[in-house]
Structure 1
C-alpha cells in the first residue's frame, strides 16, 4: 500500500490518523488477549489457574509495617527500609538516636 501523504487533504490525513489509531488499539487488544491465553496455558502446565497466581502475587505484595514514627507528626512513619524520610535525616543529623523514634 503506497500512500502519497503530500497529496492528501487535511481531512483525509485526519481520517487516516483515526483509522491508524483504531487499528493500533485493536492490535493491542488482540496481543493482550494472546498474552493472557499464553499466561493461562503456562500456569495450567504447573497446575495453577492464572487467577490463583495473580491472587498469590497480590498477597505477597504487602507493605512493610512502620517501625519508626515522627513524634512531632505521628502520621509520618517509616518502615526502616528504603530511603530515609527527611524528618529521620534531620533528627540523625541533630545527633538523636534512631531508637528514639521506634514504635
Structure 2
C-alpha cells in the first residue's frame, strides 16, 4: 500500500500511471464481483427450481430504465400582431419576423403592435 508521503513525492507522470492502474484494477474487481453475484443468484434460483431469467421475467424484478417522457410544449401566446395583417402574429420570443422589423423601421412603436 502506498502512503500519503510516498504520493507526495511522486511525479505527475507516476501519479497518472498509478491512477490508470487503479482504474483498471477497479473495473476488473467490479466485473469479478458482478460475475460472482450473478453465480450466487443463479444458484439460489436453482435451489427453488428456477433459472435467473425465469424469475426476472415472471416477477418483473429486473426493470429496464424507462426514458422520462417530457410533457409536450405548449405554444406561446402571440404578443404582437401586424397592424396591416392581423393574421401575422409573433410571441415576442426568438427571431423577429420581417413584418415586425419593417414596422419598427417605419417608426411604429412596439406597444402599438402589442395584442
Higher strand share goes to which structure? 1
Q: Could you list the runs of 5+ residues in structure 2 that have no partner in the other structure?
A: 64-115
SS at 2:19's partner residue?
helix
What is the CA–CA distance in structure 1 between the aligned matches of 2:2 and 2:50, rounded to whole Å? 48
Determine which structure has more spread, i.e. the larger CA radius of gyration. 2
Match of 2:26 in 1: 24
Tell me how far 1:55 sits from its aligned partner. Answer: 1.1
> Number of residues paired by the alignment?
60
Q: Secondary structure at the match of 1:35?
A: helix
| 2:50 partner SS | coil
Structure 1 unaligned blocks of 5 or more: 62-103
User: Which structure has more helix as a fraction of its residues?
Assistant: 1
Distance, in Å, in 1 between the alignment partners of 2:24 and 2:2 is 20
Structure 1: distance between partners of 2:2 and 2:19: 15
Specify the alignment match of 1:36 in structure 2.
Answer: 38
Over 4 Å off, 4+ runs: none
CA distance in 1, matches of 2:2, 2:23: 19
Q: 1:54 Cα deviation (Å)?
A: 1.0
